[in-house]
Structure 1
Amino acid sequence: MNCPFCAIAAGQLPAHLLHEDEHFLVILDIYPIRPAHVLLVSREHAPHLSDLPLPARERLVALAERVQRALRACGHGRDGINIMINDGPASNQHVPHFHLHLVPRRLGDLPWLLWRMLTRFLPLGRKTLQRRLEGEADALRQALQREA
Protein backbone atom coordinates (compact mmCIF):
# COMPACT_ATOMS: atom_id res chain seq x y z
CA MET A 1 0.00 0.00 0.00
CA ASN A 2 1.30 3.45 -0.92
CA CYS A 3 -0.78 5.63 1.44
CA PRO A 4 0.90 8.73 2.88
CA PHE A 5 -1.42 8.82 5.90
CA CYS A 6 -0.67 5.18 6.72
CA ALA A 7 3.04 6.00 6.44
CA ILE A 8 2.60 8.96 8.82
CA ALA A 9 0.69 6.76 11.29
CA ALA A 10 3.51 4.17 11.10
CA GLY A 11 6.16 6.85 11.70
CA GLN A 12 7.62 6.40 8.21
CA LEU A 13 6.83 9.93 6.99
CA PRO A 14 7.20 13.16 8.95
CA ALA A 15 4.22 15.26 9.95
CA HIS A 16 3.44 18.20 12.20
CA LEU A 17 1.72 15.98 14.75
CA LEU A 18 -0.47 17.94 17.16
CA HIS A 19 -2.25 15.10 18.95
CA GLU A 20 -2.85 11.38 18.67
CA ASP A 21 -5.16 8.88 20.28
CA GLU A 22 -6.23 5.33 19.58
CA HIS A 23 -8.38 6.37 16.59
CA PHE A 24 -6.93 9.56 15.09
CA LEU A 25 -3.85 11.64 14.38
CA VAL A 26 -4.28 15.41 14.37
CA ILE A 27 -1.78 17.01 11.99
CA LEU A 28 -1.27 20.22 10.06
CA ASP A 29 -2.02 20.02 6.35
CA ILE A 30 1.29 20.37 4.46
CA TYR A 31 -0.57 22.15 1.64
CA PRO A 32 -2.81 24.42 3.72
CA ILE A 33 -5.47 26.58 2.14
CA ARG A 34 -5.51 28.83 5.25
CA PRO A 35 -3.15 29.22 8.21
CA ALA A 36 -3.60 26.48 10.84
CA HIS A 37 -5.42 24.15 8.38
CA VAL A 38 -5.69 20.97 10.47
CA LEU A 39 -6.47 17.37 9.49
CA LEU A 40 -7.99 14.69 11.68
CA VAL A 41 -6.67 11.49 10.09
CA SER A 42 -7.91 8.01 10.83
CA ARG A 43 -5.15 5.95 12.42
CA GLU A 44 -6.27 2.88 10.50
CA HIS A 45 -6.68 2.83 6.74
CA ALA A 46 -10.30 3.58 5.91
CA PRO A 47 -10.96 5.20 2.52
CA HIS A 48 -14.40 6.61 3.43
CA LEU A 49 -16.28 7.76 6.51
CA SER A 50 -18.47 4.66 6.27
CA ASP A 51 -15.32 2.49 6.46
CA LEU A 52 -14.32 3.86 9.87
CA PRO A 53 -14.97 1.54 12.80
CA LEU A 54 -17.93 2.65 14.93
CA PRO A 55 -15.78 3.67 17.95
CA ALA A 56 -13.78 6.04 15.73
CA ARG A 57 -16.93 7.55 14.18
CA GLU A 58 -18.33 8.09 17.67
CA ARG A 59 -15.13 9.90 18.75
CA LEU A 60 -14.81 12.08 15.63
CA VAL A 61 -17.12 14.99 16.51
CA ALA A 62 -15.82 15.35 20.07
CA LEU A 63 -12.25 15.47 18.79
CA ALA A 64 -13.18 17.99 16.07
CA GLU A 65 -14.79 20.22 18.73
CA ARG A 66 -11.67 20.01 20.90
CA VAL A 67 -9.45 20.97 17.96
CA GLN A 68 -11.79 23.88 17.14
CA ARG A 69 -11.45 25.20 20.70
CA ALA A 70 -7.65 24.95 20.43
CA LEU A 71 -7.65 26.74 17.06
CA ARG A 72 -9.73 29.59 18.46
CA ALA A 73 -7.58 29.78 21.60
CA CYS A 74 -4.60 30.38 19.26
CA GLY A 75 -6.46 33.10 17.35
CA HIS A 76 -7.46 31.01 14.32
CA GLY A 77 -11.02 30.70 13.07
CA ARG A 78 -12.68 33.17 15.39
CA ASP A 79 -14.97 34.23 12.52
CA GLY A 80 -15.62 30.62 11.48
CA ILE A 81 -14.12 27.23 10.70
CA ASN A 82 -14.97 25.05 7.71
CA ILE A 83 -15.33 21.39 8.67
CA MET A 84 -14.97 19.29 5.53
CA ILE A 85 -14.87 15.64 4.63
CA ASN A 86 -14.06 14.89 1.00
CA ASP A 87 -15.49 11.39 0.70
CA GLY A 88 -14.44 9.85 -2.62
CA PRO A 89 -12.57 11.05 -5.72
CA ALA A 90 -15.48 13.08 -7.15
CA SER A 91 -15.50 15.12 -3.92
CA ASN A 92 -11.84 16.14 -4.39
CA GLN A 93 -10.44 13.52 -2.01
CA HIS A 94 -6.76 13.38 -3.05
CA VAL A 95 -5.70 10.67 -0.59
CA PRO A 96 -8.10 7.71 -0.30
CA HIS A 97 -7.74 7.52 3.48
CA PHE A 98 -10.35 9.14 5.75
CA HIS A 99 -9.46 12.62 6.96
CA LEU A 100 -11.48 15.57 8.14
CA HIS A 101 -10.33 19.14 7.38
CA LEU A 102 -10.68 22.01 9.84
CA VAL A 103 -10.01 25.23 7.94
CA PRO A 104 -9.99 28.44 10.01
CA ARG A 105 -11.63 31.33 8.19
CA ARG A 106 -11.78 35.11 8.45
CA LEU A 107 -14.43 37.45 7.16
CA GLY A 108 -13.44 38.62 3.67
CA ASP A 109 -10.86 35.87 3.03
CA LEU A 110 -12.69 34.23 0.12
CA PRO A 111 -10.55 35.72 -2.74
CA TRP A 112 -7.31 34.65 -1.01
CA LEU A 113 -8.81 31.24 -0.16
CA LEU A 114 -9.78 30.61 -3.79
CA TRP A 115 -6.32 31.65 -4.99
CA ARG A 116 -4.68 29.34 -2.44
CA MET A 117 -6.90 26.42 -3.49
CA LEU A 118 -5.63 26.86 -7.06
CA THR A 119 -1.94 27.24 -6.14
CA ARG A 120 -1.53 25.17 -2.96
CA PHE A 121 0.44 22.32 -4.56
CA LEU A 122 3.00 24.57 -6.26
CA PRO A 123 6.49 24.52 -4.68
CA LEU A 124 6.62 28.31 -4.26
CA GLY A 125 7.59 29.51 -0.79
CA ARG A 126 7.89 26.04 0.77
CA LYS A 127 10.69 27.07 3.20
CA THR A 128 8.69 30.02 4.51
CA LEU A 129 5.60 27.82 4.79
CA GLN A 130 7.57 25.16 6.68
CA ARG A 131 8.69 27.74 9.27
CA ARG A 132 5.11 28.95 9.66
CA LEU A 133 3.83 25.38 10.10
CA GLU A 134 6.41 24.71 12.83
CA GLY A 135 5.24 27.77 14.77
CA GLU A 136 1.57 26.87 14.32
CA ALA A 137 2.26 23.29 15.43
CA ASP A 138 3.95 24.39 18.66
CA ALA A 139 1.12 26.75 19.61
CA LEU A 140 -1.63 24.27 18.70
CA ARG A 141 0.01 21.39 20.61
CA GLN A 142 0.00 23.51 23.76
CA ALA A 143 -3.60 24.63 23.20
CA LEU A 144 -4.75 21.03 22.65
CA GLN A 145 -3.10 19.96 25.89
CA ARG A 146 -5.02 22.72 27.71
CA GLU A 147 -8.27 21.53 26.06
CA ALA A 148 -7.83 17.94 27.29
Structure 2
Amino acid sequence: MNCVFCAIGSGQLPAHRLYEDEHFQVILDIYPLRPAHVLVISREHAPFLSDLSAAARERLLALAERLSRTLRACGYGARGINLLINDGPVANQHVPHLHLHLIPRRPGDLPALAWRIVSRFLPFGRQALQARLTREAELLRHALQREL
Protein backbone atom coordinates (compact mmCIF):
# COMPACT_ATOMS: atom_id res chain seq x y z
CA MET A 1 0.00 0.00 0.00
CA ASN A 2 1.39 3.41 -0.95
CA CYS A 3 -0.32 5.65 1.63
CA VAL A 4 1.58 8.48 3.30
CA PHE A 5 -0.49 8.22 6.52
CA CYS A 6 0.01 4.45 6.74
CA ALA A 7 3.76 5.05 6.26
CA ILE A 8 3.73 7.63 9.07
CA GLY A 9 1.78 5.26 11.31
CA SER A 10 4.27 2.44 10.73
CA GLY A 11 7.25 4.72 11.40
CA GLN A 12 8.49 4.65 7.79
CA LEU A 13 8.03 8.42 7.45
CA PRO A 14 8.79 11.08 10.07
CA ALA A 15 6.10 13.24 11.63
CA HIS A 16 5.65 15.62 14.52
CA ARG A 17 3.72 13.11 16.63
CA LEU A 18 1.67 14.57 19.44
CA TYR A 19 -0.45 11.67 20.65
CA GLU A 20 -1.33 8.07 19.78
CA ASP A 21 -3.94 5.59 20.94
CA GLU A 22 -5.42 2.36 19.58
CA HIS A 23 -7.56 4.16 16.97
CA PHE A 24 -5.71 7.35 16.05
CA GLN A 25 -2.44 9.17 15.82
CA VAL A 26 -2.29 12.94 16.15
CA ILE A 27 0.36 14.88 14.23
CA LEU A 28 1.05 18.41 13.09
CA ASP A 29 0.24 19.08 9.44
CA ILE A 30 3.54 19.62 7.59
CA TYR A 31 1.80 22.12 5.29
CA PRO A 32 -0.23 23.97 7.94
CA LEU A 33 -2.89 26.48 7.07
CA ARG A 34 -2.51 28.16 10.47
CA PRO A 35 -0.16 27.69 13.45
CA ALA A 36 -0.82 24.44 15.37
CA HIS A 37 -2.80 22.89 12.49
CA VAL A 38 -3.31 19.35 13.79
CA LEU A 39 -4.32 16.16 11.99
CA VAL A 40 -6.11 13.25 13.64
CA ILE A 41 -5.31 10.24 11.47
CA SER A 42 -7.06 6.90 11.76
CA ARG A 43 -4.83 3.90 12.35
CA GLU A 44 -7.13 1.95 10.02
CA HIS A 45 -6.66 2.60 6.33
CA ALA A 46 -10.16 3.95 5.79
CA PRO A 47 -10.51 6.14 2.69
CA PHE A 48 -13.98 7.41 3.73
CA LEU A 49 -15.57 8.13 7.08
CA SER A 50 -18.07 5.33 6.36
CA ASP A 51 -15.12 2.90 6.05
CA LEU A 52 -13.94 3.62 9.58
CA SER A 53 -14.89 1.11 12.27
CA ALA A 54 -17.75 2.03 14.57
CA ALA A 55 -15.41 2.01 17.58
CA ALA A 56 -13.10 4.55 15.93
CA ARG A 57 -16.00 6.75 14.75
CA GLU A 58 -17.33 6.84 18.31
CA ARG A 59 -13.92 7.94 19.63
CA LEU A 60 -13.21 10.58 16.97
CA LEU A 61 -15.28 13.51 18.24
CA ALA A 62 -14.34 12.92 21.87
CA LEU A 63 -10.67 13.05 20.88
CA ALA A 64 -11.27 16.17 18.76
CA GLU A 65 -12.92 17.90 21.72
CA ARG A 66 -9.97 17.10 23.98
CA LEU A 67 -7.53 18.30 21.33
CA SER A 68 -9.52 21.53 20.92
CA ARG A 69 -9.34 22.09 24.67
CA THR A 70 -5.58 21.51 24.62
CA LEU A 71 -5.04 23.83 21.65
CA ARG A 72 -6.98 26.58 23.43
CA ALA A 73 -5.03 26.04 26.66
CA CYS A 74 -1.82 26.55 24.65
CA GLY A 75 -3.11 29.79 23.12
CA TYR A 76 -4.27 28.47 19.74
CA GLY A 77 -7.84 28.94 18.53
CA ALA A 78 -9.15 30.53 21.71
CA ARG A 79 -12.11 31.97 19.79
CA GLY A 80 -12.51 29.29 17.13
CA ILE A 81 -11.17 26.10 15.57
CA ASN A 82 -12.19 24.64 12.23
CA LEU A 83 -12.80 20.89 12.39
CA LEU A 84 -12.67 19.57 8.84
CA ILE A 85 -12.95 16.16 7.21
CA ASN A 86 -12.59 16.08 3.43
CA ASP A 87 -14.51 12.85 2.75
CA GLY A 88 -13.43 11.70 -0.71
CA PRO A 89 -11.43 13.12 -3.61
CA VAL A 90 -14.27 15.32 -4.88
CA ALA A 91 -14.33 16.90 -1.41
CA ASN A 92 -10.64 17.88 -1.80
CA GLN A 93 -9.28 14.86 0.09
CA HIS A 94 -5.66 14.67 -1.15
CA VAL A 95 -4.69 11.57 0.85
CA PRO A 96 -7.27 8.77 0.59
CA HIS A 97 -7.04 7.92 4.28
CA LEU A 98 -9.46 9.34 6.83
CA HIS A 99 -8.08 12.32 8.72
CA LEU A 100 -9.61 15.19 10.66
CA HIS A 101 -8.04 18.65 10.50
CA LEU A 102 -8.16 20.93 13.54
CA ILE A 103 -7.25 24.41 12.33
CA PRO A 104 -7.01 27.06 15.06
CA ARG A 105 -8.36 30.43 13.97
CA ARG A 106 -8.19 33.95 15.31
CA PRO A 107 -10.09 37.13 14.46
CA GLY A 108 -8.89 38.75 11.25
CA ASP A 109 -6.83 35.79 10.02
CA LEU A 110 -8.71 35.27 6.76
CA PRO A 111 -6.13 37.03 4.52
CA ALA A 112 -3.30 34.96 6.04
CA LEU A 113 -5.41 31.80 5.73
CA ALA A 114 -6.18 32.54 2.08
CA TRP A 115 -2.47 33.12 1.37
CA ARG A 116 -1.54 29.80 3.02
CA ILE A 117 -4.17 27.95 0.98
CA VAL A 118 -2.53 29.30 -2.19
CA SER A 119 1.13 29.00 -1.11
CA ARG A 120 1.31 26.11 1.35
CA PHE A 121 3.06 23.68 -0.99
CA LEU A 122 5.65 26.15 -2.28
CA PRO A 123 9.23 25.42 -1.15
CA PHE A 124 10.17 28.84 0.26
CA GLY A 125 10.29 29.32 4.03
CA ARG A 126 10.43 25.58 4.79
CA GLN A 127 13.36 25.87 7.23
CA ALA A 128 11.62 28.49 9.36
CA LEU A 129 8.39 26.49 9.19
CA GLN A 130 10.18 23.33 10.37
CA ALA A 131 11.59 25.22 13.36
CA ARG A 132 8.11 26.50 14.21
CA LEU A 133 6.60 23.02 13.88
CA THR A 134 9.24 21.62 16.23
CA ARG A 135 8.40 24.27 18.85
CA GLU A 136 4.65 23.73 18.46
CA ALA A 137 5.03 19.96 18.68
CA GLU A 138 6.97 20.17 21.93
CA LEU A 139 4.44 22.54 23.50
CA LEU A 140 1.40 20.56 22.38
CA ARG A 141 2.89 17.16 23.21
CA HIS A 142 3.47 18.20 26.83
CA ALA A 143 0.04 19.80 27.10
CA LEU A 144 -1.63 16.68 25.69
CA GLN A 145 0.16 14.47 28.18
CA ARG A 146 -1.48 16.51 30.93
CA GLU A 147 -4.90 16.65 29.20
CA LEU A 148 -5.29 13.15 27.80
- Say whether the fold is shared (TM-score over 0.5): yes
For residue 52 of structure 1, what is the aligned residue in structure 2? Answer: 52
Per-residue deviation at 1:12?
0.3
1:86-122 Cα deviation digits (max 9, x unpaired): 0011111000000000000000100110110011011
Q: Which runs of 5+ in 1 are unaligned?
A: none
Give the aligned residue type for 1:45.
H
Structure 1's consecutive aligned runs of 4 or more residues displaced over 6 angstroms after TM superposition are none
1:29 aligns with 2:43: no
Q: Percent identity?
A: 72
1:64-106 Cα deviation digits (max 9, x unpaired): 0111011011100001000000001111100000000000000
State the secondary structure of the residue aligned to 2:66.
helix
Q: Which runs of 5+ in 2 are unaligned?
A: none
In structure 2, what is the Cα distance between the partners aligned to 1:133 and 1:63? 21
State the secondary structure of the residue aligned to 1:114.
helix
TM-score (normalizing by structure 1): 0.99
TM-score (normalizing by structure 2): 0.99
State the secondary structure of the residue aligned to 1:78.
coil
In structure 2, what is the Cα distance between the partners aligned to 1:25 and 1:18? 8
For residue 88 of structure 2, what is the aligned residue in structure 1? Answer: 88
State the secondary structure of the residue aligned to 2:15.
coil
Within 5 A, what are the aligned runs for 1:12-23? 12-23=12-23
State the secondary structure of the residue aligned to 2:59.
helix
Per-residue deviation at 1:127?
0.6
Within 5 A, what are the aligned runs for 1:100-111? 100-111=100-111
Length, aligned pairs only: 148
For residue 129 of structure 1, what is the aligned residue in structure 2? Answer: 129
In structure 1, what is the Cα distance between the partners aligned to 2:146 and 2:20? 15
